[in-house]
Amino acid sequence: MLTYSLSEDATVAIRTLLSGVRNDLLNPANAQIFDMKHGDDPYNRDKNNQSILNSIGRDAGVYAIWVKDSMDMSLRYIGHTAGATARQRIRNHFINKDPRTASQLEHVNEELEKGSKVGVTFIAINPPELRLLIEELLVNELTDPRCWNKKSRKKRAA
């Protein structure tokens, strides 16, 4: 069997990156709240939220979906996206689901129906390949049963 290991410096660098992303991504104060109402036409949702979508740009990264009800702001989902599709990926979750993707639009609409607000935090990751590792590590930390990530639900059920 072959084994490859990171150097101590590389391990420290990855842990430092993860810590910084965790602090910024999982801080509800950094969430951008969408201007949406349940039943809004996707065109209106898109038009009303151009500033948020434009701020995401085309960078590869990780994102968090938040729900704000009358009590608090809670993390519900962590995902990742490749660079060119970042903005469209967020649209799939909040505005108009592409049938080929596993988006959280149904959950988002359920929350809007209850009168909650929804938002997103996005962190660009460079090099982009690290987004997968960072997403995996953060999802593994999720413990809230209200989270929508399937991986976190499996872990809690085990």
Predicted confidence at residue 42, as pLDDT, reads 85
Q: Which pLDDT band, with edges at 50, 70 and 90, does 47 fall under?
A: very high
pLDDT exceeds cutoff 70 at 57: yes
CA angle 90, 115, 36 (to 5 degrees): 40
| Structure tokens, 12 | 């420290």
Cβ neighbours, 10 Å, residue 154: 9
Q: What is the pLDDT of residues 60-84, one digit of tens each?
A: 999 999 999 988 999 999 999 998 8
Q: For residues 110 and 104, give the distance between their C-alpha atoms in angstroms, rounded to a whole number.
A: 10
- For the entire predicted model, the pTM comes to 0.90
Give me the chain's average pLDDT, please: 91
Cβ neighbours for 126, distance < 8 A, ≥ 6 positions apart: 59, 60
Q: Write the pLDDT tens digit of every residue in 141-150.
A: 999 999 999 8
